[in-house]
A = this chain, B = another copy of it.
Amino acid sequence: MTLTELKQFMDTHKKEIDVRMPDYIETMKGPQTLKEAMTYSIQAGGKRVRPLLMLAAVSAFRSVEEQDYQAACSVEMVHTYSLIHDDLPAMDDDDYRRGMLTNHKVYGEAFAVLAGDGLLSKAFEMISTLTHISNDRKVRMVMELAQSSGLEGMTGGQASDLEGENKTLELKDLEYIHDHKTGALLTYAVTAGALLGDAPEEDIKKLKQFSRELGLVFQIKDDILDIEGDENEMGKAPGSDEGRNKSTYPSLLTMSGAKEKLVFHAEKAKSFLPGSSSYTSLLKDFVDYVAERAH
């Protein structure tokens, strides 16, 4: 497979995801302003990397089915919730994300907290109401998502990230942060895809190792783009991490060191891909996509 074929896969499925995302909230009963706040952020664009990664993992084992979109959109709900909370004044205090006002700038802090809360609960509901996989697999997905999103995963990573501001971190601390803040949910996306596809346990194990490396590629690339990226494509000003005195891969390793590390983890990720069937090349191409993206 080539990056063109991956791009086609992503374009096709991204459209389906973008169409469905607001529907999951629209059909719910609840206070109108809170529904709007939740919908605002899930419609605020984004590359949909996590759901697409989940579908790429599914298609390693079988073709994508309608119900897979519900599982895939579910991880995007969790990602969106984390962005809303991370942007809050008490956290990263961001006014813009992807070129749009952040949730609390539009709906106020209270509703931003609640919109995030509502999206996290919704994600678990969406897993529990899948109809195309066994309850055993659903329970496993709930467990994996809960662990990836909580203290031992993303939430813990965000806490460490906040504690690390204005400190010069060692490389291992930086990796801990990214492994949890970004890596855990990417790993969940791939693991869930494998669970949806009824993958053997051995493959799931290898795909988790794959995901960990992919997560590092993702974050190193983010740090590089923060310095070298184009403001229009990024939706935020380059250098914003530097301005907040955050340790980054380029600041710890120099830019060329960071780029070497990017290639190292990209290759390592690919080495964990099980088997040699056509699907693995879709995930393999995903690594290159993440490493070479421009925003």
Contact = CB atoms under 8 A, between A and B. Distances in A.
A143 interface: yes
Given A121-B155, A151-B35, A155-B118, A110 B162 contact: yes
Contacts of A125: 142-143, 146-147, 150
DSSP majority for the A interface?
A: helix
Given A91-B110, A156-B34, A159-B31, A118 B25 contact: no
A25 B85 CA distance: 22
A110 B163 CA distance: 11
Given A30-B159, A34-B156, A114-B155, A121 B142 contact: no
Interface stretch (A58-66, A131-139, A224-232, A245-253): A131-139
Nearest to A160: B31
A15 interface: no
A163 to B, nearest CB: 7
Q: What number of copies of this chain does the assembly contain?
A: 2
A158 interface: yes
A128 B156 contact: no
A138 B111 CA distance: 30
B111 A85 contact: no
Contacts of A117: 85, 116-117, 120, 149-150, 155
Interface in A95-132: 108-111, 113-114, 116-118, 120-122, 124-125, 127-129
Nearest to A145: B124
Contact of A135 (B139, B146, B158): B139
Given A121-B120, A139-B139, A142-B142, A151 B113 contact: no
Given A110-B90, A114-B155, A163-B31, A122 B138 contact: no
Interface centre among A33, A109, A128, A134 (most CB of B within 10 A): A128
Interface in A25-53: 25, 28-31, 33-35, 38
A212 to B, nearest CB: 15
Given A28-B152, A125-B146, A138-B139, 14 more contacts: A85-B113, A88-B110, A91-B110, A111-B159, A114-B155, A114-B158, A116-B117, A117-B155, A121-B153, A122-B146, A124-B146, A128-B140, A128-B142, A135-B138
